Amino acid sequence: MAGLGVGLIGTGYMGKCHALAWNAVRQIFGDVERPRLVHLAEANADLARVRASEFGFEKATGDWRDLLADPEVQVISVTTPNQFHAEMAIAALQAGKHVWCEKPMAPALADAERMLAAARASGRVAIMGYNYIQNPVMRQIRALIEDGAIGDINHVRVEIDEDFMADPQALFYWKSEASSGYGALDDFAVHPLSLLWFLFGHVEAVIADMVKPYAERPLAEGGRRAVENHDIASVLMHLGGGISAVLMANRSAWGRKGRIALQIFGSKGSILFDQERMNEFELYQASGAPAEQGYRKILSAPVHKPYDRFIPAPGHGLGFNDLKIIECRELHRAIAGENYSAIDFANGLQIERSVHAMAQSFSEQRWVSVPKG
């Protein structure tokens, strides 16, 4: 059987990450055919040719619609800026391609809903690129929770913090425009929401507070411009099953680089995780001798599948890019009609509904229920 024919739209941060995953997935897992890197699209044909050469794609184009017409392309990675996701993903699905789309779906909820509708109409696989749920450590955490290792969960805290918007002297750019979304909630807080979904299911009700640490930012041409969205968001939440949660997102958090910190409390123990140290987690169990109870720091290891496909020795560590390879393997399962672990458009849409509910709760200063799809 031949490998999947792959099209790639976009070659930035996530575009390269997808290319690496497509290129490595068979080497790592062995049990899928090697994908054919068929066709790569960039905004500019020259850049497309350069990237196609670097990434090992056979064809290059400056017009992403060329991929739709390419019969050798079976699946398309959509890794362009968020505002283009809807148009591209829908067109790809309508052209009969499977879609692997980076998160979030789209700034506007209506666009995200159209994406789901297109996926359903197409009968094709449509998967979101929520890579953090693919961490073998995160899978182990879910297994522990399911096994009752820390009893019934009653409270969760999750923080996502980086400092790419922390410098007040940094020039105003599109991420501070209202058209790009709410700020920290969009394309940033969705990551911890993907973890919450993976572990506990969808959010039921929310109330958010949002803050602009800097009311305005300097312009390149001189002068200053008012910031239109919020770099900091804090949210009280109710998950299902009586679990209360707090979500905190801060993209102006000096010193934080890739922090996604989880604290999960249950009736028999608790679990801690921080993406900045993605190869470890901590487990506390209220059992055994009282003088010997404490948080256990567990390093990622071959026993945490599929770490073993990368490295046979424990404690040696996966990297950020490796998570996308695991996600790519899950995508293969989805396309093959097997059980898979990834966030499809239906669940992706529900995550975005919770984001919009948060924004609404902030503007109306009240608790808001997240509508169900």
The region that residue 236 occupies, defined by phi over 0 for left and psi between -120 and 50 for alpha, beta otherwise, is beta
Q: Does 310 bind a second copy (CB under 8 A)?
A: yes
Q: How far is the CB of 168 from a second copy (least distance, A)?
A: 5
Q: Does 140 bind a second copy (CB under 8 A)?
A: yes
Taking CB under 8 A as the criterion, the residue among 2, 27, 219, 226 binding a second copy is 27
Taking CB under 8 A as the criterion, the residue among 81, 96, 241, 312 binding a second copy is 312
Q: Does 184 bind a second copy (CB under 8 A)?
A: no
- From residue 239 to residue 278, what is the string marking binding to a second copy with x (rule CB under 8 A)? ---x-x-x-x-x-xxxxxxxx-----xxxxxx-----xxx
Q: Which is nearer to a second copy, 32 or 125 (CB)?
A: 32
Q: How far lies 38's CA from each of 70, 80, 336, in Å?
A: 9, 18, 20
Report the distance separating Cα 361 and Cα 330, nearest Å.
35
Taking CB under 8 A as the criterion, the residue among 72, 209, 228, 344 binding a second copy is 209
Q: Does 199 bind a second copy (CB under 8 A)?
A: no
Taking CB under 8 A as the criterion, the residue among 47, 108, 109, 149 binding a second copy is 149
Q: List binders of a second copy among 43-62 (CB under 8 A).
A: 54-56
Amino acid type, 234: S
Token pair for residue 289? 């001798």
Report the distance separating Cα 278 and Cα 99, nearest Å.
27
Taking CB under 8 A as the criterion, the residue among 290, 337, 338, 372 binding a second copy is 290
∠ at Cα 347 (111, 29), nearest 5°? 115
Q: Does 63 bind a second copy (CB under 8 A)?
A: no
Report the distance separating Cα 349 and Cα 205, nearest Å.
16
Which residues make Cβ contacts (< 8 Å) with residue 7, sequence separation at least 6? 38, 39, 40, 41, 67, 70, 73, 75, 76, 77, 92, 97
Half-sphere exposure of residue 357: CA atoms within 13 angstroms, side-chain side: 24
Name residue 59's beta-bridge partners. 39
- From residue 348 to residue 367, what is the string marking binding to a second copy with x (rule CB under 8 A)? -----------------xxx
Taking CB under 8 A as the criterion, the residue among 30, 71, 222, 337 binding a second copy is 30
Name residue 274's beta-bridge partners. 261
Q: Does 183 bind a second copy (CB under 8 A)?
A: no
Q: Does 317 bind a second copy (CB under 8 A)?
A: yes
Token pair for residue 320? 């950020």
Size of the site for a second copy (CB under 8 A): 98
Q: Which is nearer to a second copy, 78 or 233 (CB)?
A: 233
Q: How far is the CB of 139 from a second copy (least distance, A)?
A: 10
